[in-house]
Structure 1
């Protein structure tokens, strides 16, 4: 068997584009060369990697099985080419919103001071977005606010984070001892489903409240802070998210009759992801 990296590259590009025509444009090859390379690869493997539907190529179960290994081979080839270069390629990160907006900026500023020439790409979404991107090999590393339950994803504890219940300074909750019943009766403003924060709040806090009152679901923490500040309800977010508002008094913490609401933040990567030299260095930086 003599599988070449060119055949692997052709396969992955055809999978992404869905046709040999578009793949040939991306690879600067003739369409016949792309078709021949794909046919040679299928011949050596003894299976078809795509189902032919009209002029389209639709990846089948054999192609899906090959794809993560093919991506890993190409990444290792790139790593070999860049092994002795100062620039080891961009690290692609995807972080959930609390981490991406409130934890990472300071850390990335320090990384940039230490490694000013190394490129780094950061996307921010909710935890489910991050998990999906890692599972699809669209990013190298994910940082999320709750556990990941996919068997193909390696999840490692990273940092501890405290969640706090908060309200506007004139909240009626401050006029009497806070009970689980009074918390349940208050209007709640929460992150959307799919958010790591929402998953943990549901588990650690809301599961203890009898028939709590959901007023709003919002897609980002800034919107929640403003809604709470204007007296629309109460919420629960990371202490890091509302630290400035607690300090200035525009928001106040509500002590709840429950143990400290603490969660673990996680680093995740695909089980078959090749850990390059650059990514390994960044992982060490995260641990420090």
Structure 2
């Protein structure tokens, strides 16, 4: 459970980060105070620090997919924890959508998965 890890040292993105905001909002009822050890402005910096094994973080699975694959970082599975961030593609629904634009949308949906919703999309 997330509340069992609240006293561990946490490294989070800086104030204003969407991932940080979603994570803190999700845990606020379960964790009254998180031990934020450090705040960094770049996910790459957080990943480097995490490889020392001295702290915990919450970052996008997409951002650490290679490190999870090669074993330089590990995922901690928690009970009753399903924190998700949603992404939106917003564009003018009546404007021409080129093949390149449609390929970009498809690529983005594939990379991000179910957490991406398109506003203005029309089913063709």
With normalisation by structure 2, the TM-score equals 0.70
96, 99, 103: which one aligns with 1:285? 103
Q: List alignment gaps of at least 5 residues for structure 1.
A: 1-178
Aligned partners of 2:74 and 2:4: how far apart in 1?
16
Q: Structure 1, residues 49-83: CA drift from partner, whole Å, max 9, x if none? A: xxxxxxxxxxxxxxxxxxxxxxxxxxxxxxxxxxx
Aligned pairs, how many?
A: 104
Q: RCO higher in 1 or 2 (8 Å CA, sep ≥ 6)?
A: 2
Q: Is the 8 A contact 1:183 1:209 kept in 2?
A: no
1:204 CA drift (Å): 2.1
Greater helix fraction, Structure 1 or Structure 2: 1
Give the secondary structure class of the aligned counterpart of 2:84: strand
Rg larger for: 1
- 2:81 pairs with 242, 259, 270, which one? 259
Shift of 1:240: 1.1
| Higher relative strand content | 1
Superposed CA RMSD: 2.2
Residue 231 (structure 1) aligns with: 53
Which residue of structure 2 aligns with residue 220 of structure 1?
42
Task: State the distance in 1 between where 2:70 and 2:35 align.
Answer: 28
Unmatched segments (≥5 aa) in structure 2: 107-124
The correspondence of residues 118-267 of structure 1 with structure 2, limited to 5 A, is 179-267=1-89
Length-normalised TM-score, structure 1: 0.33
Whether the 8 Å contact between 1:206 and 1:212 is mirrored in structure 2 is no
